[in-house]
Amino acid sequence: MSALGPLEVERRCSLFLCFALAVVGFSVGLNALLKANQARSYINQLVVPHGIIDLGIHDVFATGAVITAICAFLTIFTGVFCAFTWCPIKHKASLLRIQSWVLFFCAAWLFATLVSYDYFFANRSAQITVNLRGLPIPEPVMQRLANLLNFTRAYRDVYFFKLVAVIPWLTFISAVVTGVVLQLAAGRADASSSNTEQQEKRDRVGP
C-alpha cells in the first residue's frame, strides 16, 4: 500500500473519470437551458396585436436545471476529493467514507431527477398558448402555427433535450462506482490501521 493511502490509483482514476463526466453533464445541461431560453424568447417575440404567446416547458426545464446543478456539485466535490489523494491526512478511513456518502447522496438525487426528466422527455411536449384579446386559440390552430414556425413540440425530438436525457446517466454510474471504490479504500484503511496498532502493541511488549 502506498504512503498516500489504499487503492490510490483506483481512487484517482475513478474520481477523475467522475469529474470529467460531471463536467460533460453540466455542459450539456447548461447548453439545454440556454437553448430552451432562446426558443422561449423567440416564441415570445412573435407577439400579435392584443395577443400573448407563451411557450410552456416548465416541466423539462425545471428538472433539467436540477440535473445541471447536481452535475455542478459533482464537479466540485470530485475535484476536491481528487486533490485530497495527494495529501497525507490522518483518519483517512473516516474521510473516505464521508466522500463516498457525499457521492452516493448526489447519485441518488441525480437518479431521482433523471427518472422524472426522462418521463417528461419521452411522454410530453412543449405547450404553446396564444391568447387574442383574452380568448385562447384552439389546439389545431396552434399545431398549424408550430408547423409554420418549424417548431418541434415533442421533447424527444429536440436534440439538446435528448443529450440531457442520456449523458447524465453516465455521470450517475461513475458517481456510484467512485463511491464504491472509496468505501473499499476506507475498509482497507481500517484494516491497515488495525494491523499497525497491533504491531505497535507487540513492539511495546517485546519478545
The H or E element spanning position 90 is none
**Residue 89, domain member (yes or no):** yes
- Give me the residues paired with residue 196 across strands: none
**Residue 147, domain member (yes or no):** no
Looking from the CA of 121 toward its CB, the CA atoms found within 13 Å total: 22
Is residue 81 within 8 A of residue 175, CB to CB? The reply is no
* Per-residue buried b or exposed e for 13-47, using 16+ beta carbons within 10 Å of the residue's own CB: ebbbbbbebbbbbbebbbebbeebeebbeebeeee
**Residue 109, domain member (yes or no):** yes
For residue 162, the enclosing domain spans 8-46+55-125+153-205
**Residue 59, domain member (yes or no):** yes
pLDDT value for 2: 44
The pTM for the full model equals 0.81
Return the SS3 of 151.
coil
**Residue 168, domain member (yes or no):** yes
* Pairwise CA distance, residues 97 & 182, whole Å: 7
**Residue 1, domain member (yes or no):** no
pLDDT value for 86: 80
**Residue 140, domain member (yes or no):** no
Q: How many independent structural domains does the chain possess?
A: 1
Is residue 147 within 8 A of residue 72, CB to CB? The reply is no
Return the SS3 of 149.
coil
Rounded to 10 degrees, the C-alpha dihedral 128/131/136/137 comes to -60
Spell out the per-residue pLDDT of the chain, length 207, in tens.
Answer: 445 556 788 999 999 999 999 999 999 999 999 998 887 777 767 655 556 666 778 899 999 999 999 999 999 999 999 988 887 666 678 888 999 999 999 999 999 999 999 999 999 887 777 666 666 656 665 666 666 555 667 889 889 999 999 999 999 999 999 999 999 988 887 666 555 544 555 555 555
Bridge-based pairing of strands 51-56 and 127-132 is antiparallel
pLDDT value for 67: 98
**Residue 31, domain member (yes or no):** yes
